[in-house]
């Protein structure tokens, strides 16, 4: 059965480039990104892992733990990590899970038989500190992911979790946001004393809250 937004992210224990990972223990209290790769030594994945390694300070700043997953054995990961460093100018600095028996890929419904019966699609899961799935995105194997977009969504998720706001189309960190309909005008006046612009009763635009 597919994992849906709001579901508890399934737990698992698996080997990785940074030792055994017991998933729920590893991410406890943190946000997390779990993303899959069709297999080792593939060109698109190599660029993705290199770019994600470069972005790790940005993930760290947001309190996000990043984990990659490939359906290959652990002993194959070291050679691929060397290729990533050589071609992308970035050293792998987060765990790459070795899911050679496809246990995790199956648990997270990362294998789509109509695309391939033995390789994962490019799945991305963002998981909150409550261990619930907050976002899932799936790409075909041929299309590299946009990890700047993953960071943008995390900014939105973290902001909206704290301030009862939603983010509009193409929102970027620092831009105006929307007061969610569940917040009455009376409650909004307390939360947003600077006021807001009401385009419609259900569309109230306010500067992004700070803190």
Going by pLDDT thresholds of 50, 70 and 90, the confidence category of residue 11 is very high
Give the N- to C-terminal CA distance of the chain in Å, as an integer: 38
Closest CA to 95 of 34, 42, 139: 34
pLDDT digits (tens, 9 = 90+) for 73-110: 888 788 889 999 999 999 999 999 999 888 998 999 88
Tell me the pLDDT of the chain averaged across its residues: 92
pLDDT at residue 116, rounded to an integer: 58
pLDDT at residue 114, rounded to an integer: 58
pLDDT at residue 205, rounded to an integer: 98
Active-site position among 9, 27, 34, 45 = 45
Q: At what angle do helices 147-163 and 43-61 cross, to 10 degrees?
A: 30
Share of the chain above pLDDT 70, in %: 95
Stretch(es) of the chain classified as CATH 3.40.30.10: 13-145
Stretch(es) of the chain classified as CATH 3.30.1020.10: 164-206
CATH number of 13-145: 3.40.30.10
pLDDT at residue 76, rounded to an integer: 78
> Is 45 annotated in the active site?
yes
CATH 3.40.190.10 fits 164-206, yes or no: no
């Amino acid at each position: 059965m597919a994992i849906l937004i709001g579901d508890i992210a399934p737990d698992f224990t698996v080997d990785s480039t940074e030792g055994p990972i017991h998933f729920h223990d590893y991410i406890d209290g943190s946000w997390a990104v779990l993303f899959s790769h069709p297999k080792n030594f593939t060109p698109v994945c190599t660029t993705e892992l290199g770019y994600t390694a470069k972005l790790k300070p940005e993930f760290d700043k947001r309190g996000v733990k990043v984990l990659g997953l490939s359906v290959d054995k652990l002993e194959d990961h070291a050679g691929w990590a060397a290729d990533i460093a050589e071609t992308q100018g970035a050293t792998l600095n987060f765990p790459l899970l070795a899911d050679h028996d496809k246990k995790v890929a199956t648990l997270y419904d990362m294998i789509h038989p109509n695309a391939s019966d033995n390789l994962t699609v490019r799945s991305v899961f963002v998981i909150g500190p409550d261990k619930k799935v907050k976002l899932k995105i799936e790409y075909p194997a041929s299309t590299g992911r946009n990890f700047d977009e993953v960071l943008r969504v995390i900014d939105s998720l973290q902001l909206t979790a704290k301030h009862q706001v939603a983010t509009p189309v193409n929102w970027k960190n620092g831009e105006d946001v929307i007061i969610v309909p569940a917040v009455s005008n009376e409650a909004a006046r307390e939360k947003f004393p600077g006021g807001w612009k009401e385009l419609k009763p259900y569309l109230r635009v306010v500067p992004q809250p700070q803190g």
